[in-house]
């Protein structure tokens, strides 16, 4: 089952949803600000994305700037920050099996369909 980690208030995330809807495929919506991913789930997402934990961080968010910017964080500390402050998670993320992609730009989503 295809999953999208979605924030309805984000334009790019809404555009990603539209791509999935137009694909005709079934998918599950995870509103990650309400259903916060666990550290284990985040670790698996990062592995599927093939990126470092820090690459999943929205560095322009005030929370990041206030609490973490300029600090030398380990991967596990970054994952802990993402689990504690899910607003820091880059979006949307689409997962299809063992493949995943950050939908920025939203057209990237088509690579995992």
Catalytic member of 2, 3, 10, 85: 10
Question: In degrees rounded to 5, what are phi and psi of residue 63?
Answer: -60, -45
Q: List domains and CATH numbers for the chain.
A: 2-112 (3.40.30.10)
1/62 Cα distance (integer angstroms): 34
The pLDDT value given to residue 61: 97
The string of pLDDT tens digits covering residues 15-42 is 999 999 999 999 999 999 999 999 999 9
Tens of pLDDT along 76-87?
999 999 999 999
Separation of alpha carbons 26 and 57, rounded Å: 28
The verdict on whether 10 is a catalytic residue reads yes
The pLDDT value given to residue 22: 97
pTM metric for this prediction? 0.94
């Amino acid at each position: 089952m295809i999953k999208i980690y979605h924030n309805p208030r984000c334009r790019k995330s809404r555009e990603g949803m539209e791509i999935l809807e137009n694909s005709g495929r079934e998918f599950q919506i995870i509103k990650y600000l309400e259903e916060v991913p666990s550290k284990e789930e985040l670790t698996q997402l990062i592995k599927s994305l093939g990126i470092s934990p820090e690459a999943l961080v929205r560095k322009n968010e005030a929370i990041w700037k206030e609490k973490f910017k300029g600090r030398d964080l380990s991967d596990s500390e970054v994952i802990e920050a993402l689990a504690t402050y899910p607003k820091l998670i880059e979006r949307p993320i689409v997962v299809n099996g063992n493949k995943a992609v950050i939908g920025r730009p939203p057209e990237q989503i088509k690579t995992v369909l």
